[in-house]
Structure 1
């Protein structure tokens, strides 16, 4: 039986976003054909991680999420509780994502790092860490303040002529589409479209194997 890499995405109603996540997972599977690479979700789509975990053995869970928050601490943690299945760190913050954002940013007077939004302190801290590395202003597409459109408008008032949004979002969806209505001059593509992200997913998987092996010694 093949070892399992169980990827866990948030889930989206966007057909484009669904396809992008499936394509990312398929790219991971092509790179490591000796693995049983499966996809599950914490919200919106099926199958949910709690339904998949009982059917897998010798598995590692890799959250296809950019920051740790409720879905990691509660949804994923509850799904694997008592199973011994390790859960890797989230995909972000990471230099792979930083390089992807930087490659896709045009010349601009100001950059806004636009994330989904969360009240979770750890989630917000990791988002600010990425923004600091990118030398960008932090804004959120949903929930938390400051909102992306408000930050863009404030930068315009302060004299910025060209504003770029660095989309700190993995796939297309409602949040990503709002960025194109926020008044900036450009928006970077969803991160999962970058081929290097598949390598990052595998690096997270391999790091969990090393940690587990070290713990057994």
Structure 2
């Protein structure tokens, strides 16, 4: 069976690699028998050249939410440098599965997301990393708009932990101004680390503080299912490509 090569960014924070390992276990539980290998762009081992040489047949799946610099440049360049002509799956976002994972984390933090009345009275801050790529930030704003439209939140505003604003306190003020009776912060981030810690600290330091602060997406089963979905899509596309060019 074609292996799944999960390519993660990497971090000096050991929680990052631990989260990636837990996500791999979740993927393997959902697809028994599938070989799942992990490689990192930076900070963690193994790196892409250390992994691709032992994979005879694989699909590379980026553990990335948006098509920003890492997806457009870093991963293709690293694969080329390693001499690996692997098919590369699309990034994870946007997807209804990501919205379901976000709501799972909000529910775990104590918010009754199953209640339409609670959603109608709650303003959510979708707290992302932020990017220098305008298209990536536009994609995050589109996710926020879709989440509000499909789930009936009082408001959904985007905040960024790096790059440009708005920051979490500003976004919390915006959802309150929109009429939300309660507020929640949902990190649109994959694993713990510096930026999620910054988001949590900003939510706790806002005046008034956020009522609910969720955890990162982490090894949510919806995220594992989405990785497999992207893997399957790329695998089908790679199989059909020769017929299309023949």
TM-score (ref. length: structure 2) = 0.79
The 3-state SS of whatever aligns with 2:190 is coil
Asked whether the 8 Å contact 1:53–1:79 carries over to 2, the reply is no
**Higher Rg of the two aligned structures:** 2
Shift, 1:128, TM fit: 1.2
The counterpart of 2:132, out of the listed 105, 112, 119, is 119
Shift, 1:154, TM fit: 5.0
Rounded Cα–Cα distance in structure 2 between residues aligned with 1:91 and 1:212: 18
Shift, 1:160, TM fit: 4.9
Shift, 1:92, TM fit: 1.3
**What 5-or-longer segments of structure 2 have no aligned partner?**
112-117, 149-155
- Please provide the CA RMSD for this pair: 2.1
Partner residue, 2:41: 42
TM-score (ref. length: structure 1) = 0.89
Shift, 1:149, TM fit: 2.8
Partner residue, 1:26: 25
**Pairing 1:212–2:211 present:** no
Partner residue, 2:6: 7
**What 5-or-longer segments of structure 1 have no aligned partner?**
none
Partner residue, 1:131: 144
Shift, 1:129, TM fit: 1.5
The 3-state SS of whatever aligns with 1:111 is strand
Asked whether the 8 Å contact 1:102–1:134 carries over to 2, the reply is no
Q: Which moved more, 1:7-16 or 1:46-55?
A: 46-55
- Cα shift readout 1:52-98 (whole Å, capped 9, x = no counterpart): 23332211000111111111111111122363211101111111011
Aligned residues: 216
**Pairing 1:88–2:78 present:** no
Rounded Cα–Cα distance in structure 2 between residues aligned with 1:35 and 1:102: 28
The counterpart of 1:162, out of the listed 166, 169, 182, is 182
